[in-house]
């Protein structure tokens, strides 16, 4: 249960001066989410400017909201409908600090952009007793700019609603990389896909990589469904590579080097069939390469390699907040 302040208050949809909503208590801590609870690296490059410098940097409306704790009119600032923007990162309009992932956004119907989670460590919370109400203010951890307020009436998995002024945000869309002619794809399952994706992205010749689910019994599974162990999917990484620079054999070597292929349905503290070690050869040549790799790598392990060779199957991309998870947070390759 999230800690709550003792004061009881009336809340409107976001920051209205005449509240009409039922009584609630303000949220006092950023909620943890099973899918996105990693703490961000601390902000070390704080931006401190004078009011004059901020006025030169911001539009009048941005200055009113970010520096004077103003509130824009609902349904007037953009960034309201999720479908209009898609994958990408929402940053502070004042300093560029990354605040929210596009996959954390939802349509709340309030007229302000709403998010069920944030990049923890990139936002800060403050007590706000203005307008005769007790609320939790959300500010940028880098420049202390006012963003909006935090409420506890959001969707699962956090139950949080970060109600943010659109004028406080800058959206940077995700732009897929250009794939060279002749690029090939391969899919690998090696436990928690956050670290596996980062591992493959670091390899020469890898053009792109995305995380997702494969080898299960249902279509378009969600992260929560896969974690419930009811779909049979594995967390996996789809790797796009340039065969002129690297090869499937080299990717297999990186695969065996990057995880423990001797444990059944487990990698480190993560236990479940979604964490199984598996490859999905596209043809007989890749199957032969996999068998040769097992023979080559087995002497390096005391226990037998239990990596499965599963038939090709539909790869279902995971939610946006899982994509490039380590890179978004300034973390290394390892998942644990």
Give the active site residues. Answer: 163, 192
DSSP code for 258: S
Phi, psi of 208 (to 5 degrees): -160, 160
Q: How far is CA 201 from CA 116, 173, 316, in A?
A: 28, 20, 19
8 Å CB contact between 276 and 221: no
What one-character-per-residue DSSP string does 137-170 give?
EEEETTT--EEEEEES---TTT--EEEE-GGGEE
DSSP code for 75: T
What one-character-per-residue DSSP string does 278-330 give?
EE--SSHHHHHHHHHHHHHHGGG-SSPP--EE------EEPPGGGTTHHHHTT
Beta strands in 1-101 (DSSP E): 9-10, 23-24, 88-92, 98-101
β-partners of residue 321 are none
Strand 316-317 to strand 123-128: parallel, antiparallel, or no bridges (unpaired)? unpaired
Q: Is 57 left (phi over 0), alpha (psi -120 to 50) or beta?
A: alpha
d(CA 271, CA 267): 7
Q: What angle do the packed helices 284-297 and 248-257 form, to 10 degrees?
A: 40
Tokens 């690297």 identify what position?
Answer: 246
Structure token pair of residue 65:
């909201």
Sign (positive/negative) of CA torsion 30, 32, 35, 36? positive
Work out the number of other CB atoms within 10 angstroms of the CB of residue 2: 14
8 Å CB contact between 102 and 90: yes
């Amino acid at each position: 249960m999230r800690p709550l302040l003792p004061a009881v208050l009336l809340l409107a949809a976001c920051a209205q001066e005449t509240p009409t909503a039922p009584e609630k208590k303000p949220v006092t801590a950023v909620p943890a989410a099973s899918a996105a609870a990693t703490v961000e690296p601390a902000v070390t490059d704080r931006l401190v400017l004078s009011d004059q410098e901020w006025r030169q940097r911001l539009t009048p409306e941005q200055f009113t909201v970010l520096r004077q704790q103003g509130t824009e009119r609902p349904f007037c600032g953009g960034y309201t409908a999720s479908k209009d923007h898609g994958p990408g990162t929402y940053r502070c309009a004042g300093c560029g600090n990354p605040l929210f992932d596009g996959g954390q956004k939802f349509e709340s119907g309030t007229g302000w952009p709403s998010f069920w989670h944030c990049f923890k460590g990139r936002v800060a919370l403050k007590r706000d007793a203005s307008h005769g109400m007790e609320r939790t203010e959300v500010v940028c951890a880098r420049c202390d700019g006012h963003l909006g307020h935090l409420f506890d009436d959001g969707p699962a998995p956090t139950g949080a609603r970060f109600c943010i002024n659109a004028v406080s945000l800058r959206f940077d869309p995700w732009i897929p990389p250009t794939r060279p002619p002749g690029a090939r794809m391969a899919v690998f399952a090696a436990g928690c896909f956050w670290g596996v994706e980062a591992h493959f992205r670091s390899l020469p010749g890898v053009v792109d990589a995305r995380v997702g689910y494969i080898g299960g019994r249902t279509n378009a599974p969600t992260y929560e469904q896969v974690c419930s162990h009811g779909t049979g999917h594995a967390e996996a990484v789809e790797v796009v590579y340039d065969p002129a620079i690297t090869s499937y054999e080299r990717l297999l070597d990186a695969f065996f080097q990057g995880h423990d292929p001797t444990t059944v349905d487990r990698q480190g503290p993560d236990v479940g069939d979604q964490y199984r070690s598996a490859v999905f050869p596209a043809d007989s040549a890749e199957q032969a390469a996999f068998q040769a790799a097992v023979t080559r790598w087995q002497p390096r392990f005391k226990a037998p390699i239990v990596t499965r060779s599963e038939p090709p199957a539909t790869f279902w991309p995971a939610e946006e907040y899982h994509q490039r998870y380590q890179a978004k947070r300034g973390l290394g390759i390892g998942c644990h």
